[in-house]
Each structure stands twice: as C-alpha cells, then as structure tokens.
Structure 1
Amino acid sequence: MSVMEEDSVTLNTGVTEIMDYALILWRFAAENTLIAEINVLAYSITVYDDVLDGRFRDRLMVDHQTGSLTITSITTQHTGLYKLLTNIVRKNFTLTVY
C-alpha cells in the first residue's frame, strides 16, 4: 500500500464489529512495537503514540466499531510493516510513504 506524505491512510481490520474479539493489537515494524490496543472486555482503547521517539504522536486514530487504524499526516518515518493481531485474525500491511 502506497501513500503520499501528509495524507492519511486507514488500515482496515476487515470486521464490521469488534464485539466478538476480546483483544485487538496493532504493532509496527520489525521492532514489533505496540502502537494501539483494544481490550473489548475492559471497554478500553489505548493508543501508544509516544513510542519510537514520538513519531506517531497525535497521528493515530482507532475506529471504535471496527478496530481499523488510521494514521494521519503521514511521513516517511511511518513506512514499514504494520501487524494486526486478534484472537481470530492476523493481517500484515506493508506501507510505503513517498
């Protein structure tokens, strides 16, 4: 998936409702850094936008209904592998920013 700098991109989970999933994790890059977590059972959504020297600060949004991740005002520092991990679904997204 390719996107231009300063644009936004949404990484879709492919689910219409997250109630069936107890835990949804979004991880970034080879470091496998946790950048977002949805714990359905605890009714919590946490965005870790201060990791990796703050490169995601104020740029991450998680859709409360689907769990999809949106990255806004994207830069080349956001190029890389994004991993979606749930109890049932595992997806990888390779993002190239130019």
Structure 2
Amino acid sequence: MFHSFVFCCLCFWCLAGVFAGTETVKSVSVMEGNSVTLNSDTELKEDDVIQWRFGSEKSPIATINRGTGIFSTHDGPDGRFRDRLRLDHQTGSLTITNTRTTDSGDYQIRAKIIYRFSVAVYG
C-alpha cells in the first residue's frame, strides 16, 4: 500500500513538472536591416493588458492596455529602439523595423501567460 502511495505521488510530481515547469523559447533569426515580427499567437480581448520586455534586465519596450486604449512603445533603456517598434493592435505582436545587431537578445511578452523569444540579428 505504501509503495502504491509513493508511486502515485511521484507520478503527480513528474506531471506537475511537465506542465508547470516547461517553457518554450522561440528562436528567430533576421538579417540586419530587415524587419522581424514577434508573434503573440493570440487575439487580444477587451480587457487585456500585456507588456513586451527586452534583455536580461527585462526592460519594458511596449505596453498594451486594451481597456484604456493605450498602445505605447518605449525606446528601451539606451534608446536603441527609437522609432523602430510597431504594435499590432489586434494581436499584440511586436515588429522591430530596420533591425541592428544590437537588437539581438531575449524578448518576452507578459500577458496571461509568458512567451519568450530569442532573436539573433546577423550582418
């Protein structure tokens, strides 16, 4: 009986790890000077609030608040994205225009779930 209990606990523990701990990172490559779109794979709802972040510091670079009608982009901590970010108002996808090698790095969209992207810009 005890062994069955332990076996069941181990199975549930493994399943919890599979569903709660898995995180996928989408890898995206783009040639310098081209545009790249990071797709949120969702349709925004009336009250959705999402935020795009960049880099290991997770600096905010774009915010959408459908409830208040706010769709804003930020230049980034060092101004690297100045006038080069576009938000899709229907899906929340982020497009980076005229990419540079300094745009390479980790991007994250925080909504009801978190999506992560690893972008590589090559010359």
- State whether TM-score is above 0.5: yes
Give 1:21 shift: 5.1
Relative to structure 1, the CA distance from residue 21 to residue 41 in structure 2 (aligned partners, 3 Å threshold; closer, same or farther) is: closer
Give the counterpart of 1:9 among 16, 26, 36. Answer: 36
Give structure 1 regions of 4+ aligned residues with deviation exceeding 2 angstroms.
none
Unaligned 5+ residue runs, structure 2? 1-27
Partner of residue 17, structure 2: none
Distance 1:2 1:41 in 2: 33
Compare CA radii of gyration and give the structure with the larger one: 2
Structure with the larger RCO, 1 or 2 (CA within 8 Å, 6+ apart):
1
Which one has a larger percent helix, Structure 1 or Structure 2? 2
SS at the partner of 1:77?
Answer: helix
TM-score, normalised on structure 1?
0.92
User: Could you tell me the percent identity over the aligned residues?
Assistant: 46
Which one has a larger percent strand, Structure 1 or Structure 2? 1
Distance 1:37 1:10 in 2: 16
Q: How many residues align?
A: 95
Deviations 1:1-21 (A, max 9, x none): 111100000000001x21255
Distance 1:92 1:73 in 2: 21
